[in-house]
Structure 1
Amino acid sequence: MISINEAFSILENLNFAPREVEVSLLEARNHILAETVLSPINMPPFRQATMDGFALCLHDDLAYEIVGEVKAGDVSNEELQPGQAVKIFTGAAVPHLAQAVIQIEKVTVENSILKLQENIKPETNIRQKGAQISANDIALAKDTFLNTAAIGFLAGLGFDQVKVYQKPSVAIVITGNELVEVGNPLPDGKVYNSNTIMLQTALLNADFDKIKTYQVKDDFESTKTTLEKAITENDVVLVSGGISVGDYDFVGKALESLEVETLFYKVNQKPGKPLFTGRRENKIIFALPGNPAASLTCFYIYVLPTLRKYSGISASYGSTLEKKLAHDFVVDNPRAQFLKALVSDEEVTILSHQDSAMLNSFSKANSMVFLPEGKYEVRQNDKVLVFSI
């Protein structure tokens, strides 16, 4: 059994070579850019009115003759003379001889004569050509995270596809003869299979959507066959259950027979002690505890950072915040604990129902409090380490 920090260190030292793939902008959301992108155009590509009003060819008087109109999307070839103006709308191209745009609220119009309240400075309310970016400048650098704004920026420059680092495909392998699929009657001695949809949801919430699910009964040959198929077909394999040392826990033996290298097995923590992590070539296998809360804890602490790392996203293990504890809490445990908790304002509250099989408190949690092993008491307002989930 290893410590949590030793487990983190092993995972941090893993090296992956993310694959590049060209995808549509919509598919590229929340991916990492795999190339530096240069702007093919100036943005804006022309001098642009920043508001509704009138484009002016300036002169010394406060009165101007209105000689036309320019809507967004129009091109005006009007050769304005000093003292002339055109009505213009937000985003429209400013005629090249116009030097300023006066907002509509600051003028009066009588027939075709426009009157200003005061003189206006040149370039007022005009966004210059290339003000945001010039053609051939770097639009986004390689390794940029493509959030909503980045996707919109690329679309505004005319891109419809971009190269990103491909996210890993993920297998969920569920073991256990005691499992019954939800929606069916529940016979005596059986429990519903909650881990499949729970892990699917956790993956989808983190924007990992290439997911395959597999279910296997508790015997060695079917466990080995199913695991071989899952490892062959996917980049990362999550096994739920069957990793302990019971008579009907065949996952460990099956992984050994499939020549999966053990990176570590068993971590000095609660919940999630029987966590297994292994590797075969560039494939990563996590055998998670079967108890739902323990499985989800290990997912957040170990699996999710690894998936992000596999995707080219900068990820760190053990990334925590410090928060004040809202109440006293007594620790008496030989293992370090990840406790379901709720952060509100600057405080964190440790929730009840911490058993590794219980999800009801997890459904209310937005974080986990980390408490080292030992016998001690944490007092109200003491700072504790918090993992966001």
Structure 2
Amino acid sequence: MQRNQDLDKDKFQRRALQVKEAQARVTKYAKLLDAEFVPLSQSCGRYLVETVIAPHPFPAFNRSGMDGYALIAADIEGCSSDNIIWLQVVDNIPCGAVPSVEIRTGTSARIMTGAQVPGGADTVVMLEVTETRETDGITYVGIRKAQAAGRNITPLGFELGPDEPVLAAGTLISAGDIAVLAAFGVHTVKVHRRPKIGIFATGTELLEVHEPLQPGKIRNSNSPMLEALVREAGGEPVMLGAIVDDLELARSKVQMAMETYDFVITTGGVSVGDYDVMGDLVREQSTEMLFNKVTMRPGSVTTAAVRGGKLLLALSGNPGACFVGFHLFARPVIGLMQGSLYPYLPEWTATLGEDYSKVNNYTRFVRARLEIRGGALFAYPASIDESSVMVTIKDSNCLIIVPPEQRGLTAGAKVTVIKLPGEIEG
């Protein structure tokens, strides 16, 4: 890896990296976290440590798919409405019960949906094509429609056989996965620990959210946004507040955070101004800088460094750049720390819904809105996409990737988008 002395010799030592290279540098330090056991009810949104193997076949018995009668298909060959075949009913099998007798030629069993099919039976006839009668205290069922063997029975092991993989290591557990785990009796789940992420902002101009506005000040909106984004990515955010533009204070805060938490994210103080303390901090000899400029808009000043094996990601104080930088660099790291199989957000192809005329020398990640129109996917760029603009973040569910060689795009062009978490209007 290139160390600090390999960077340019000017004050800010900025040498721009391509986004992919910058991502590779930060994800190298995404250390897989320890495992822990959690109750099944608390496992949704967690990542499996080990592949779960089926301890038994599923279903564990031949299961009825209908309310009706279990019988032998050969016994009802040739039956019809005009030629009803009558079979003796020898058992009644509700769900959860074990059949008491085996079915033989000329007999049947009343059975409920989901119940265990008795031995000897090879088909279940639905209730609607039957009728019953009682003669000398014996119940008979009349079948008026022939049916092949195997109908309305889910055979033992149809879904999974014993020792087959149920869920792969690295799976992000969803509601459906929980249903499967519960079906196999997995009541505690081995998952990776959620990373604890220290978050703080820098800037003398920042006010807390609850404080009234003051001349020249702004409320700290980036920290609450990062808190939500970390939770969305599966991490545990730890809010460390905001600090004024003071290098010593920032140094002590960063040192404490990096000794305490798995990953530290800051916002603000990474530009080239006189009070951009994070830029100064990552140039110190105690810190190994990974990069401090990326060929992207917004957020070209995004900075990453390592201290004591822990990763520090310094995002721009501009809300739009902070938002984009998190998704490109922080989210993959948080996912990899938990063993995610798919740490990066998916890239899709969409049709551009409106012209986009802005030209850049760097790759631009344009906040945009995905919509489904006539079964096709369209991306509509935000009306205002400046780095400092915050309001359009809430309306964005994707980022349009505009390469530097594109000198403007016209509506109808095919574009690559990064799908952000959230719904799509249809």
What is the TM-score normalised by the length of structure 2?
0.83
CA 1:126–1:20 in 2, change beyond 3 Å: closer, same or farther?
same
CA distance in 2, matches of 1:243, 1:80: 78
CA 1:160–1:187 in 2, change beyond 3 Å: closer, same or farther?
same
1:212 to 217, 233, 238: 238
Partner of 2:90: 67
Point out the more displaced range, 270-279 or 256-265.
256-265
**Structure 1: 4+ residue segments shifted above 6 A:** none
Point out the more displaced range, 359-368 or 251-260.
251-260
- CA distances 1:248-295 after superposition (whole Å, capped 9, x unpaired): 322233345582311000223221121111123442211011111110
CA 1:17–1:329 in 2, change beyond 3 Å: closer, same or farther?
closer
Q: Is the 8 A contact 1:54 1:101 kept in 2?
A: yes
Query: Residues 1-389 of structure 1: matches in 2 within 5 Å?
Result: 1-2=15-16, 3-11=18-26, 13-14=28-29, 16-57=31-72, 60=75, 62-111=85-134, 112-208=139-235, 210-215=236-241, 216-257=243-284, 259-315=286-342, 320-345=347-372, 346-373=377-404, 376-389=407-420
One-letter amino acid of the counterpart of residue 70, structure 1: I
CA distance in 2, matches of 1:27, 1:383: 41
One-letter amino acid of the counterpart of residue 52, structure 2: V
Q: Is the 8 A contact 1:33 1:144 kept in 2?
A: yes
CA 1:327–1:124 in 2, change beyond 3 Å: closer, same or farther?
closer
CA distance in 1, matches of 2:394, 2:403: 24
The 3-state SS of whatever aligns with 2:180 is helix
One-letter amino acid of the counterpart of residue 33, structure 1: L
One-letter amino acid of the counterpart of residue 212, structure 1: V
One-letter amino acid of the counterpart of residue 334, structure 1: N
% of aligned pairs identical? 28
CA 1:321–1:126 in 2, change beyond 3 Å: closer, same or farther?
closer
CA 1:80–1:375 in 2, change beyond 3 Å: closer, same or farther?
closer
- CA positional deviation for 1:182: 2.0
The 3-state SS of whatever aligns with 2:350 is strand
Point out the more displaced range, 226-235 or 277-286.
277-286
**How many residues align structurally?**
388
CA distance in 2, matches of 1:321, 1:81: 58
RMSD: 2.5
What is the TM-score normalised by the length of structure 1?
0.90
- CA distances 1:140-182 after superposition (whole Å, capped 9, x unpaired): 3434443332222121011112323333221111222222222
CA distance in 2, matches of 1:315, 1:41: 29
Unaligned runs of 5+ in 2: 1-14, 77-84, 421-426
Unaligned runs of 5+ in 1: none
